[in-house]
């Protein structure tokens, strides 16, 4: 009876842990409204148009332009960037490329996805995608791991012919992220996310300005819902707790099985 109770408690703990882990790894919800979606793109890193995760951004441009957007990505997230380029009716073969850079402007490699595609002559559109590696909360200085902060998206055509330069195009970009959870957790965190200008402070930051407000010279104003490191909960905590509970239950069960009834058997005296 006691062993049955121990087994039932262990199965309940494992079930709760599995449910929490599944909920923790669910995709990040996307904003439902699209009325404020950006309709233009920047032409450099400094002028990149800010977009939220799950927000669809559009822009009009010309072949040969560099189109830039930026979005936030927090620790434990695996960002996915997708782009669709609608081409003009008359064009030769064009190769389009989607690049993603982190807050230090380091080009991040894609785990999978069609980062570069060639549209044959007369093709109406071309679709690109890049699934980044999971963003880590901390990394060695020499490593090239994705870190929390602002990420830049650059969309452009490469190797264009002279006849295709300046042709009108329409681009559509969307950035999403899936929270990975415990498997991506590390022991450490950055002091500040890699947001351009986050360490630049005005002379009046420590005191009130003339209008009673505090000024911060931050070049990027976007951040994840709930702030940076909003995914402070990790299913690693759950599995660690489950392991401790199972170890304790195993010890109790082993002791109950080996101690016997607790009363020594009486041996009848010999005749």
Question: Above 50 in pLDDT, residue 31?
Answer: no
Distances (CA, A) of 212 to 208, 209, 229, 268: 5, 5, 29, 95
- β pairing state of 168-179 and 116-119: unpaired
Helix axes 2-24, 235-258, angle to 10 degrees: 170
- Mean pLDDT, to the nearest integer, of 213-232? 61
Classify domain 38-226+233-239 at the CATH class level.
mainly beta
User: 161-177, pLDDT tens digit by residue?
Assistant: 898 999 999 999 999 99
Is the model's pLDDT at 158 over the cut of 70? yes
Q: What is the pTM of this model?
A: 0.70
Least trusted range by pLDDT, from 43-52, 163-172, 208-217: 208-217
What per-residue confidence (pLDDT) applies to 155? 97
**Strands 168-179 and 56-62: what pairing?**
antiparallel
Confidence band of 244 (pLDDT split at 50, 70, 90): confident
C-alpha count within 13 angstroms, C-beta hemisphere, residue 117? 19
Pairing of strands 94-101, 56-62: unpaired
Q: Tokens 């549209």 correspond to what residue?
A: 119
Which pLDDT belongs to residue 232? Answer: 53
CA 195-47-153 angle, to 5 degrees, is 70
pLDDT in tens, 52-105: 999 999 999 999 999 999 999 998 899 999 999 999 988 899 999 999 999 999
């Amino acid at each position: 009876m006691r062993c049955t109770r121990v087994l039932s408690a262990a199965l309940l703990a494992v079930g709760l842990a599995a449910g929490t882990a599944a909920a923790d790894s669910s995709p990040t919800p996307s904003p439902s409204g699209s009325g404020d979606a950006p309709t233009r793109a920047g032409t450099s890193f400094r002028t990149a148009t800010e977009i939220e995760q799950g927000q669809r951004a559009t822009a009009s441009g010309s072949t040969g332009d560099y189109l830039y957007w930026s979005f936030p990505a927090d620790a434990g997230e695996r960002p996915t960037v997708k782009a669709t380029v609608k081409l003009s009716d008359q064009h030769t073969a064009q190769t389009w490329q989607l690049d993603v850079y982190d807050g230090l402007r380091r080009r991040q490699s894609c785990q999978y996805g069609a980062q570069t595609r060639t549209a044959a002559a007369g093709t109406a559109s071309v679709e690109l995608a890049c699934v980044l590696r999971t963003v880590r909360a901390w990394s060695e200085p020499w490593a090239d791991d994705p870190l929390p902060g602002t990420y830049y998206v650059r969309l452009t055509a490469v190797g264009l012919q002279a006849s295709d330069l300046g042709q009108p195009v329409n681009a559509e970009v969307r950035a999403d992220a899936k929270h990975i959870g415990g498997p991506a957790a590390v022991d450490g965190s950055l002091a500040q996310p890699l947001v351009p200008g986050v360490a630049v402070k005005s002379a009046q930051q420590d005191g009130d300005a003339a209008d009673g407000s505090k000024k911060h010279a931050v070049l990027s104003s976007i951040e994840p819902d709930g702030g940076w490191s909003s995914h402070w909960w990790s299913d690693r905590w759950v599995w660690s707790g489950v392991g401790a509970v199972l170890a304790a239950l195993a010890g109790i069960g082993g002791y109950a099985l080996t101690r016997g009834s607790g009363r020594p058997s009486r041996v009848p005296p010999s005749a």
